[in-house]
């Protein structure tokens, strides 16, 4: 319910305002711009709340609580990455796209996160592939 009010609702309201402004109002009117601006502001509020929600502590339920305390490199694995190259002509127009395989390294990290409110620790493994 908290998630619905703080995260989903701002997105719904902003999308509704946005379409209402586009469909119903003449672009010359001030109310169009006010409505558009409100849609954008409410949308940003939704984004901020979404990011706070993603850092929620599972134990105490506080939002924006988890922060990284340690990032430990577990292993490095040689791998490859698929890269899309775009060939352009003299005018800068894309005439052909092709996929090439480039060498890369996969870094595996063990991440430790701690809650700012109750000190609960959460850990997880994550991968990051970086082109050599």
42 lies in the site for Zn ion, by CB under 5 A: no
Q: How far apart are CA 41 and CA 77, in angstroms?
A: 44
**CA-CA distances (angstroms) from residue 13 to 45, 77, 85, 118?**
11, 46, 40, 34
* H-helix or E-strand spanning residue 122: strand 121-131
115 lies in the site for Zn ion, by CB under 5 A: yes
55 or 80, CB closer to Zn ion? 55
56 or 110, CB closer to Zn ion? 56
Residue from 5, 37, 118, 121 in contact with Zn ion (CB under 5 A):
118
Please give the backbone phi and psi of residue 65, each rounded to the nearest 5 degrees, phi first: -105, -35
Residue 113 pairs in a beta bridge with 68, 122
Q: By CB under 5 A, which span of 18-26, 58-66, 68-76, 78-86 interacts with Zn ion?
A: 58-66
Residue from 44, 60, 85, 100 in contact with Zn ion (CB under 5 A):
60
Interface positions with Zn ion (CB under 5 A):
57, 59-60, 115, 117-118, 120
């Amino acid at each position: 319910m908290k998630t619905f009010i703080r995260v989903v609702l701002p997105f719904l309201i902003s999308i509704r305002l946005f379409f209402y402004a586009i469909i119903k109002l003449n672009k010359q009117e001030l109310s169009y711009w006010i409505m558009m601006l409100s849609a954008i502001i409410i949308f940003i509020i939704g984004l901020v709340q979404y990011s706070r929600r993603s850092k929620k502590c599972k134990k105490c339920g506080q939002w924006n609580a988890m922060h990284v305390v340690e990032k430990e490199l577990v292993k490095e694995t040689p791998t490859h990455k698929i890269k899309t190259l775009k060939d352009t002509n003299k005018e800068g127009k894309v005439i052909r796209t092709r996929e090439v395989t480039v060498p890369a390294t996969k870094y595996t990290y063990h991440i430790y996160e701690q809650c700012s409110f109750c000190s609960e620790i959460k850990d997880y493994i994550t991968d990051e592939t970086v082109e050599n």
